[in-house]
Structure 1
Amino acid sequence: MASLKVVCGLFMCMMVAAPLITEAALTCPQIQAGLAPCLGYLQRGGVPAGGCCPGIKRLVGSATTTADRQNACKCLKTVAGAVKGINPGYAAALPSMCGVKIPYKISASTNCNSVK
């Protein structure tokens, strides 16, 4: 009888903890801070500032799960639509300018739920 209570207790703990395991590790403020050096490029073009590409590369390296990639996509999409003066073409070209590939286009129209 005691072992049944232990098993039930463990099962309940697993059920409570399961949603926590699937949450994204990357937060939008972290993403925004890492990409802040890219703002000049996103608005005026040219060459990305010194800290921009390392920030993009860290973001890509940190987004290891589907939840991380979808969270990053949603954050980038929000920023692309909210910050005045961002050129959509520069935003879409940023990953290739920095020599990285991401599985979505940085755009206010990207469907982040389809990112895997």
Structure 2
Amino acid sequence: MAGSTVVMKLVCLLVVAMAIAAPIAQAALTCGHVSTMIKPCIHYLNKGGAVPYACCNGIRSLNSAAKTTVDRKSTCNCLKSATGSFKRITIILAATLPGKCGVSVPYKISPSTDCNKVH
């Protein structure tokens, strides 16, 4: 009986440890998440003009969601890839967009950004 009590306590301890560790092991933001959040910005990034309200909401949401270094690096890589892939995106507009939305990001949005240096 005493042996089964010890085993039961170990199982309970393991379950509690897994529950505590689960939030730590969550995946970083994906490029799909990033794309969804910046989608309202595409017209602005192609043509300029006034920054749409929905675009700034997406930028603020993305900035809020990127809480960890892993998330910020992942987001940086997604944005870097997007600015390099879409020929119509004006790099200067992309680089200045966060500031126009009142958001400060710890890196420049550019195809030349070294996202490994993001903290």
Bin for the TM-score computed over the shorter chain: 0.7 to 0.9
Secondary structure of 2:53's counterpart equals coil
How is 1:6-45 mapped onto 2 (pairs within 5 angstroms)? 21=24, 24-45=27-48
| CA deviation string 1:7-30 (max 9, x = no partner) | xxx6xx98xx89xx4564311101
1:24 touches 1:71 (CA, 8 Å); kept in 2? no
Which residue is 1:91 aligned to? Answer: 94
**Separation (CA, whole Å) in 2 of partners of 1:87 and 1:22:** 36
Q: CA RMSD in A?
A: 2.2
TM superposition outliers: structure 1 runs of 4+ over 6 Å: none
Structure 1 unmatched ranges of 5 or more? none
**Separation (CA, whole Å) in 2 of partners of 1:24 and 1:109:** 25
Among candidates 62, 67, 77, match of residue 80 of structure 2: 77
- Check if 1:110 corresponds to 2:113: yes
TM-score (norm 1): 0.80
Deviates more, 1:49-58 or 1:22-31: 22-31
Among candidates 54, 59, 62, match of residue 62 of structure 2: 59
Structure 2 unmatched ranges of 5 or more? 1-5
Q: Which has the larger radius of gyration?
A: 2
Count residues with an aligned counterpart: 106
**Separation (CA, whole Å) in 2 of partners of 1:23 and 1:86:** 31
| CA deviation string 1:14-59 (max 9, x = no partner) | 8xx89xx456431110110110010111111111122100000000
